[in-house]
Amino acid sequence: MNENPADIKSSSGTRIDWVDSSCRLLQATRAEFADTQPFSNLTIGMSIHLEPKTAALILTLHQGGAKIIATGNLNSTQPETVAYLKDRGITVVGHQTKDANVHSAFLDQIVASQPDLLLDNGGDLFIRYIDHPYEGLIGGTEETTSGRMRLAPLREQIQKPVLVINDSPIKQFAENHHAVGQSTVESIMRFTNRVTNGRRVTVIGYGSTGKGVAAHFRNAFSVVTVVDTNPVATLQANLDGFLTPERTHALATADLIITATGARNVLTADDLAYLKDEVVLANVGHFPQEIDVAGIEASGQIENIVAYDDEIVTWQLKDERRVHLLARGHMVNLAGPRPLGNSIESMDLGFTLQARCLEAVARGDVGPQHCVVPVPPEIDAQVAISYLELVRAPN
């Protein structure tokens, strides 16, 4: 025990400082990049959610010698993060906006500055590069599935290395499976403040995301049922120990229904007939289209809508059952009061894949034959080893 409290120094930190200091893999990568300078004399143009976890990535690339020119994604730019980055010498284009045209002009500006490398999130930058190609682009990375789907048919026009982070197995199990499952339990409890124990939870969709959601609710002492249109996925859920009754039975028994499919209109007005009184509906799929909110509200089955604080809406049906909807069907783990999203460690892993992939592109370790391909296995292995070394290190 310190006998002289006056000797204790104290300081304070922001949430961004906390996140940055918790990104231990990126911190280690940053220290290495400070010596190795893989991006010396290179500019990286990027469009990605500007929030604390991406700030940790950006500062890592900057430490590796990169000049950065960054803009956010539509609507997700956090002003505190922008200020934090600007204070540290990062060029940030634009600001938070819901206006797609305004955002599009920010993206144009990034590509017009002709960066050597592009870090893309949804294919917006590479699409613009195809429209306005320039000498000197080495290649880059794409974070998402949706970006991969957009860019894969355009390989002939890109002809540069583009590594797709989402297609790494590490991203699939660390983020989609474990982190989304965990943050979905955390978010639904934060939204509703209701117990998970002994509740009947139906998860619709048993891909990497639905598997994690189902497992985490089982760990939270819920009784979990799984529905999937694919019989093979349903069989897997059954062998994993989940209940797999017919869909209507799965809906009728649920206290909480979570969609995790990536598909449209998974829950519609036709399903209202089956739902229990007091059921809670939520979605974790990327687009807010899995629960057909507009169709349900136009169905003529609702007597009254109560909008509570914190994005909880209750539909009082004409037969007096009450159905609660969280975040109006937007991704529940990124919505509601003080949304934190997925765990820092899962994003630290994903962003370390980003940093290593950009390093491989910058060093010429990959070429045009690696246009819109998954993360090379040796980078997956390198990142896995780094994480394991960190967690094995004695405290």
Nearer to ligand NAD, 63 or 183 (CB): 183
CB of 335 to ligand NAD, least distance (A): 10
Under 8 Å between Cβ of 324 and 307: no
CA angle 202, 206, 207 (to 5 degrees): 145
Q: Confirm if 139 and 160 have CB atoms less than 8 A apart.
A: yes
Nearer to ligand NAD, 265 or 304 (CB): 265
Q: Is 314 exposed, middle or buried (0-12, 13-18, 19+ CB in 10 A)?
A: middle
Query: For residue 36, with 0-12 CB atoms within 10 Å meaning exposed, 13-18 middle and 19 or more buried, which class applies?
Result: middle
Q: Which is nearer to ligand NAD, 180 or 358 (CB)?
A: 180
- Residue 130 or 340 having the CB closest to ligand NAD: 340
| Residue with smaller CB distance to ligand NAD, 282 or 361 | 282
Q: What b/e string do you get for 201-238 counting C-beta neighbours within 10 Å, with b at 16 or more?
A: bbbbbbbbbbbbbbbbbbebebbbbbbbeeeebbebbe
- Output the six-digit token pair for 343: 């765990």
The residue among 80, 56, 85 whose CA lies nearest residue 70 is 85
- In angstroms, the CA 47 to CA 45 distance is 7
Q: Which residues bind ligand NAD (CB under 6 A)?
A: 176, 180, 204-210, 227-230, 233, 260-263, 266, 284-286, 331, 333, 342
Does residue 39 contact residue 66 with C-beta atoms inside 8 Å?
A: yes
Residue 65 CB, nearest approach to ligand NAD (Å): 31
CB atoms within 10 A of CB 304: 10
* CA 180 from centre of chain: 8
- Minimum Å gap between C-beta 87 and ligand NAD is 29
Of 206, 193, 164, 209, the closest CA to residue 337 belongs to 193
Backbone angles phi and psi of 298, in degrees to 5: -95, 5
Among residues 222, 211, 228, which one has the least CA distance to residue 176?
Answer: 211
Residue type, 301: Q
Place of tokens 């209507």: 248
C-beta of 117 vs 201, nearer to ligand NAD: 201
Q: Could you tell me the smallest distance in angstroms from the CB atom of residue 66 to ligand NAD?
A: 27
**Shortest Å distance, C-beta 38 to ligand NAD:** 28
Question: Tokens 């104290």 sit at which residue?
Answer: 10
Nearer to ligand NAD by Cβ, of 167 and 310: the residue is 167
Minimum gap (Å) between residue 155 Cβ and ligand NAD: 22
Task: Give me the least distance between CB of 181 and ligand NAD, in Å please.
Answer: 10
Is 42 or 279 the residue whose CB approaches ligand NAD more closely?
279
Question: For residue 119, what are the β-bridge partners?
Answer: 46, 141
Q: Which is nearer to ligand NAD, 27 or 141 (CB)?
A: 141
Q: Please list the residues that pair with 184 across neighbouring strands.
A: none
Identify which of residues 271 and 359 has a Cβ nearer to ligand NAD in the complex. 271
